[in-house]
C-alpha cells in the first residue's frame, strides 16, 4: 500500500441537468478524486483550500473515508471556491454559469510533512504553478499523475508544459488532447504528448470510454452503457481517483496493471454519474464495485479461437 497525495479543488458546485438542479453541494476535483481513491482504502492526503463557510460535516466525512486533511487549509474569513454549470440535453456539453475563485485565488499548497515521501501523487486540475509547487515538496514519488484542462492551455501553456515534463501519466479529455498536441488523430495526439515527457497518456472520451497509451501499447476501456446519465459532474476526477487509488493500493505501475486501473477508474465513474454530485460515491459498497467490475468483464471480454 503506497501513500497518495491528492491536490485539487474542494469546492461548492451548483448543477443544472435536464433532470433537475441542485443548491450549492459538495464538489471539487480533490473531493471526487479522494472519494474514488478511498474505495481502495489507501492512505491519502488532500492538499487544498476552503473558506470558513465549508461545512464541518463534509470535512468529517472525508476524514471518515481515510483522507488526511492536515494539508487542507481553512481560511476562516474567506469563502470556498464555487462553480455553477448547466448541462445541455446531450449531457456531453455544458455552460459554466458562475466561477467564483474565492480562497482559491491565493492558494499556496502545503504537503503535510508525513506525506512528502508519498509514492503516488495525483495532481488534479489546477493552475500548473500550483501543481509544480506540490511536486517541489515531494521527496521522490514513483508515480505522478496529472489532470488538466483547456483553460490552462489557453492561459498558462508554458507553465503547463513545464509540469507535463515532470509527470509520468497525463489524463486529459479528447478535445483537450487535440488542442494540446495539434493532432486530430488521438493516436498521434497521445504520441505528441508523450514526447513532452510522460510515459503514459490517458485520453478520456466521456460516454465513449477511455484510451490508455504507452510507448508501444494501447488499451481501451468503454464507459458502462447506462439507461440514464444523471449528472456527469466529477466523472473525470472520479476516473482519475480510481486510477491512482488502484495503482497506489497495488503498488504496481506496469502497463498491464494500468489497464486494471483504467477499468477501476471507469467503474467508479460509471457510479458517479448515476446521481447528483458525489452522492453515489458516498455509500458505495465493495460488493457493488465488485459487481460493476464483473459487468465490465462481460461487456468487453470475448473468446475468439485463433487457429
- Per CB under 8 A, residues contacting its own copies are 89-90, 184-188, 205, 208-209, 211, 217-222, 225-229, 256, 259-260, 262-264, 290, 293-294, 297-304, 306
Question: What phi and psi, each to the nearest 5 degrees, are found at residue 46?
Answer: -95, 125
The smaller minimum CB distance to its own copies, of residues 205 and 280, is found at 205
Closer to its own copies by Cβ: residue 93 or 302:
302
Q: Which is nearer to its own copies, 93 or 184 (CB)?
A: 184
| CB of residue 187 to its own copies, shortest distance in Å | 5
User: Which of 37, 5, 20, 6 lies closest to 245 in space, CA to CA?
Assistant: 37
CB-based contact 167:198 (threshold 8 Å)? yes
Rounded-to-10 torsion of CA 274, 22, 235, 54: -130
Tally of CB atoms within 10 A around 111: 23
Residue with smaller CB distance to its own copies, 90 or 106: 90
Closest approach of its own copies to the CB of residue 50, in Å: 35
Closest approach, Cβ 14 to its own copies, in A, equals 24
φ and ψ at 20, to 5 degrees?
150, -170
> How many residues would you count in the chain?
307
CB of 13 to its own copies, least distance (A): 23
Q: Closest separation between CB of residue 254 and its own copies, Å?
A: 12
Q: Which is nearer to its own copies, 18 or 165 (CB)?
A: 18
State phi, psi for 201 to the nearest 5 degrees.
-130, 130
CB of 137 to its own copies, least distance (A): 33
**193: which DSSP letter?**
H
Residue number, 67 or 224, with CB nearest to its own copies: 224
H or E, element range at 70: none
251: left (phi over 0), alpha (psi -120 to 50) or beta: left
99 vs 294, beta carbon nearer its own copies: 294
Minimum Å gap between C-beta 225 and its own copies is 5
Per DSSP, the three-state class of 27 is strand
- CA-CA-CA-CA dihedral for 251, 257, 261, 266, to nearest 10: -170
Amino acid at each position: 500500500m503506497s501513500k497518495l497525495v491528492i491536490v485539487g479543488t474542494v469546492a461548492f458546485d451548483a448543477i443544472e441537468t435536464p433532470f433537475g438542479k441542485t443548491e450549492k453541494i459538495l464538489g471539487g476535483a480533490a473531493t471526487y478524486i479522494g472519494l474514488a481513491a478511498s474505495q481502495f482504502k489507501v492512505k491519502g492526503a488532500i492538499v487544498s483550500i476552503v473558506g470558513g463557510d465549508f461545512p464541518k460535516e463534509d470535512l468529517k466525512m472525508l476524514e471518515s473515508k481515510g483522507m488526511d486533511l492536515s494539508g487542507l487549509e481553512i481560511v476562516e474569513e474567506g469563502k470556498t471556491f464555487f462553480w455553477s454549470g448547466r448541462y445541455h440535453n446531450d449531457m456531453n456539453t455544458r455552460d459554466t454559469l458562475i466561477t467564483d475563485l474565492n480562497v482559491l485565488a491565493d492558494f499556496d499548497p502545503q504537503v503535510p510533512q508525513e506525506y512528502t515521501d508519498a509514492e503516488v501523487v495525483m495532481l488534479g486540475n489546477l493552475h500548473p504553478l500550483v501543481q509544480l509547487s506540490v511536486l517541489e515538496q515531494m521527496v521522490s514519488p514513483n508515480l505522478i499523475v496529472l489532470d488538466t484542462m483547456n483553460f490552462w492551455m489557453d492561459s498558462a501553456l508554458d507553465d503547463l508544459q513545464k509540469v507535463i515534463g515532470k509527470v509520468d501519466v497525463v489524463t486529459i479529455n479528447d478535445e483537450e488532447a487535440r488542442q494540446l498536441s495539434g493532432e486530430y488523430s488521438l493516436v498521434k495526439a497521445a504520441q505528441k504528448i508523450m514526447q513532452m515527457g510522460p510515459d503514459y497518456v490517458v485520453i478520456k472520451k466521456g460516454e465513449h470510454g477511455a484510451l490508455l497509451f504507452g510507448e508501444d501499447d494501447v488499451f481501451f476501456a468503454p464507459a458502462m452503457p447506462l439507461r440514464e446519465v444523471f449528472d456527469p459532474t466529477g466523472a473525470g476526477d472520479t476516473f482519475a481517483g480510481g486510477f491512482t487509488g488502484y495503482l497506489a493500493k497495488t503498488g504496481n505501475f506496469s502497463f498491464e496493471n494500468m489497464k486494471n486501473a483504467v477499468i477501476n477508474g471507469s467503474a467508479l465513474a460509471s457510479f458517479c454519474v448515476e446521481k447528483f454530485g458525489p452522492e453515489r460515491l458516498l455509500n458505495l459498497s465493495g460488493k457493488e464495485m465488485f459487481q460493476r467490475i464483473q459487468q465490465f468483464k462481460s461487456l468487453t471480454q470475448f473468446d475468439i479461437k485463433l487457429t
